[in-house]
Structure 1
Amino acid sequence: MHRVAVYHVNDVEILHIYMRSGMVNIRVNANAGSSCESPNEYGIAHFLEHLMFKGTEKRNAKEIRRDAARIGGKLNAWTSFDHTVFHITALSEEFEMAFELLSDLFLNPVFPKEEIEKEKIVVLDEMRRSQDRPQSILYQKTSGKFWSHNIDHRILGTRENVEEMGREEIIKWRSGYYSGKNIQVAVAGEITEKQVREVAGRCFFTTNMAGKVTYPEVAFTGGNDDFYKKGILATYFLMAYPALPRAHDDHVRQRVMTHVLGGGGSSLLFEQIREEMGLVYGIHAGILNTDAFNTLIIGTSSKPDNIHLIERIMRGIIEKLCSSPVSEDRLIMAKASMLSTIRMIAESPVGMNSLVSLGYLKGDSVNMYKRLSQEIPEVTRDDVLTIAEETFKQKPYVGRLWPE
């Protein structure tokens, strides 16, 4: 069992999830990511995320890492399209030290010039490694193809931008987004509200400088693109459709329908294309939700001779999903699979914080764990049919990466 409370300390929103655990997870969620960037800034949100760990007014980068290790802490961060997360998981008895450490690196970075230049090498190497993964290459090549304004451009940015980023530019971008109403602190673990209020009151402050993040209206465009790369043996495939936003009344129904289609070992795509025909190693359908855009993506890979056959079978499965109800047993399997997954995630403070905090950051004021737990069992076969018809009525975008 868990309890969720939202309150403010020093004008900062605190999301507090009380749950039994010997560990505590603390997150600083910033309501800004790569979709906030202009073309000459592509990559700055991700680069800034790296630099936040490179020293503060009281700790250098090595001291940050060692102070975390002394309390059993695991520090990490990631950048998404519409948010960036900085978090630490530590022993519950070390909550105060963990909160102070995370607050220090988030509020007081100094961005030493030598660390900026050194971290450019690291990020550029990250880009090179992504070029060794065909799935990443396909997504990079299709970015901006099906959503307008290039809103879904590559989070890592461009080599040219990263090489040219300077300290003043980084500080300006951080000041414009990492403050005010764009910041939320989320705590999950066996920590009392009194503890959270006392420690947050001493450690975490922000300004009201940053304005609310907004995104342009974007349009989805169906299409068909083929790309080629030397040195690969398989062909990589994706099919994309526009999806519903998190706040939509039918969001959970669409997630269940997507799971029925391609969410696991008992899904329609996996059973027919993998198990019955042996055409692929893996095939998956999932939904990516952001403030800027929402996409349902189906992805797989196979030997080149199989791809057009797989695509025909896939379209046939989707057509059937839109024309007749799935069996009751298949729906039961999908719903049970989804419920077991979210319950396993929610067993840990890290997972519970991930499930719950983002919705509150985005202003939904909905406990997504509770919403999923309540609405998934209520989805019917007719719901799946109706939402499939609505989802797949638009022409998809299809991208393929072939061996050259």
Structure 2
Amino acid sequence: MIQRHICENGLRIVTEKIPSVRSVALGVWVRTGSKFESEGNNGISHFLEHMFFKGTKTRSAKEIAESFDEIGGNVNAFTSKEYTCYYARILDQHAVMALDILSDMYFHSVFDEEELEKEKNVVIEEIGMYEDTPDDLVHDLIAKASYSDHPLGYSILGTEEVLRGLAKQDLLSYTDGHYTPANTVVTVAGNFDDQLIEEIKKRFSLYRRPGVSRHVESPRFTSKSIIQSKATEQAHLCIAFPGLPVGHDDIYSLILLNNLLGGSMSSRLFQEIREERGLAYSVYSYHSAYSDTGMFTIYTGTAPEQVGQVFEITTSILDDVRQNGISDKELNKGKEQLKGSLMLSLESTSSRMSRLGKNELLLERHLSLDEIIAKIDRVSTDSISAIANRLFRSPLALAMVSPLEHFPNNVRSDVLVS
């Protein structure tokens, strides 16, 4: 059963007890990421994520790591466009200890100047590694092509130039402005008792931070074409369309549409491009849902001379779905796959903890498993056709990392018509 507690300072605690397990997954979620940055501080959310592990007033970076090793647990963090999460998974008997360390990191990180300079180099190496991985880099480029100068088009990692200029005071100011009670959610899933909730309240319920104005205008889909020439063996191509925001009434129709197009090995794109024609090893689609918009993306890695052919096949498949819809067999298969994936994920305390955090930050509500399954069951072939006709229109956005210097003539943003 999911329970929600609101502390006197506005911080939320969301929990789900699972008495049948012996572990606890604990997360501290902060609603900040690259979407809330500017060109002048792009990458600071991700850099802060690193610096929270570099020592507090009472623990060194090594002691933080050793503390979790000594109890057989693990601790980590990640930054996305709209939120940052610090999380731990431990045996139930060590939950309070894990909470103590995470709260210490949250409130008492010192951002030591020497550690700050070392970690800048670490993140710059991370940026370099990312840029040397074209099948990762192209996804940053498609976000830029889709959202242009809007913060949703920014890289989560930021740039070397910005990182070099960050000072300790920048981190402190950003923390004061964004790591506020209203922006923070603590989630717990697993085998725990009510005493853990009281311990969370004791650490998180009284603090105040000034905060800053955080209004971000909703992005406009800009449908640009971006190509980055690199000496790669393959051409890495992304095609994107406007999607739906998280919580939209038609989101499950879109999830099922994604599944049948490129979300599985039996999907149309995978079967046609890889299995039937052998034109790619990797081909897939995905939908990114944000609080106020979404983006539907198709990725293919193929030989440079095959880019035009792959693009034509892809747009032909999209047009066929628009014109002719999908079969009942495809719909039923997609529903069973989605239900199976959902139910299997619920066997993991980490997945449940993550689900609680994302839902609370972006939706402020939590659907039961029965409610979700009912929404999946209500999806019809007609609703999927309606979504396909709504999404797959011109102009689309394009991004490619490739030894080619230009897109082939037939790869263009206006290939589909409304």
- The match for 1:92 is 92
Q: CA deviation at 1:340?
A: 1.6
Q: CA deviation at 1:328?
A: 1.4
CA distance in 1, matches of 2:348, 2:21: 7
Q: CA deviation at 1:335?
A: 1.6
Alignment of 1:64-83 (within 5 A): 64-83=64-83
Deviations, residues 139-194 of structure 1 (Å, cap 9, x unaligned): 334442221433221111110111111101111011100012001100111113x2
CA distance in 2, matches of 1:374, 1:207: 41
CA distance in 2, matches of 1:29, 1:368: 21
CA distance in 1, matches of 2:28, 2:6: 14
Call closer, same or farther: CA 1:209–1:259 in 2, change over 3 Å: same
The structure 2 residue matched to 1:4, chosen from 2, 8, 28, is 2
Q: CA deviation at 1:374?
A: 2.7
Q: Is the 8 A contact 1:57 1:109 kept in 2?
A: yes
- The match for 1:352 is 352
Call closer, same or farther: CA 1:375–1:292 in 2, change over 3 Å: closer
- The match for 1:123 is 123
Q: CA deviation at 1:212?
A: 6.5
- The match for 2:50 is 50
CA distance in 2, matches of 1:370, 1:172: 43
CA distance in 1, matches of 2:165, 2:292: 27
Deviations, residues 347-392 of structure 1 (Å, cap 9, x unaligned): 1110111223211122431337555433222211111111111111
Letter of the structure 1 residue corresponding to residue 235 of structure 2: T
Structure 2, unmatched stretches of 5+, are 405-418
SS of aligned partner of 1:343: helix
Q: Is the 8 A contact 1:52 1:111 kept in 2?
A: yes
Q: CA deviation at 1:400?
A: 2.0
Q: CA deviation at 1:337?
A: 1.6
CA distance in 2, matches of 1:394, 1:211: 38
Alignment of 1:9-24 (within 5 A): 9-11=7-9, 12-19=11-18, 20-24=20-24
CA distance in 1, matches of 2:199, 2:285: 42
2:189 paired with 1:191: no
Deviations, residues 49-74 of structure 1 (Å, cap 9, x unaligned): 10001111111111111111222221
TM-score by length of 1: 0.94
SS of aligned partner of 1:341: helix
CA distance in 2, matches of 1:325, 1:143: 28
CA distance in 2, matches of 1:140, 1:334: 28
Which range moves more in the overlay, 182-191 or 141-150?
A: 141-150
Call closer, same or farther: CA 1:389–1:368 in 2, change over 3 Å: farther
Q: Is the 8 A contact 2:145 2:225 kept in 1?
A: no
CA distance in 1, matches of 2:403, 2:371: 44
SS of aligned partner of 1:320: helix
CA distance in 2, matches of 1:117, 1:160: 13
Letter of the structure 2 residue corresponding to residue 7 of structure 1: H
- The match for 1:216 is 217
CA distance in 1, matches of 2:163, 2:314: 39
Letter of the structure 1 residue corresponding to residue 185 of structure 2: Q
Letter of the structure 1 residue corresponding to residue 327 of structure 2: S
- The match for 2:172 is 171
Structure 1, unmatched stretches of 5+, are none
Letter of the structure 2 residue corresponding to residue 386 of structure 1: A
Matched residue count: 400
Q: CA deviation at 1:286?
A: 0.6
Call closer, same or farther: CA 1:77–1:249 in 2, change over 3 Å: same
Call closer, same or farther: CA 1:243–1:53 in 2, change over 3 Å: same
Letter of the structure 2 residue corresponding to residue 80 of structure 1: S
CA distance in 2, matches of 1:370, 1:354: 19
Q: CA deviation at 1:307?
A: 1.1
CA distance in 2, matches of 1:18, 1:373: 21
CA distance in 1, matches of 2:358, 2:148: 25
CA RMSD of aligned residues (A): 1.7
Would you identify which runs of 4 or more consecutive aligned residues in structure 1 move more than 6 Å? none
Q: Is the 8 A contact 1:35 1:153 kept in 2?
A: yes
Which range moves more in the overlay, 268-277 or 134-143?
A: 134-143
Q: Is the 8 A contact 2:247 2:363 kept in 1?
A: no
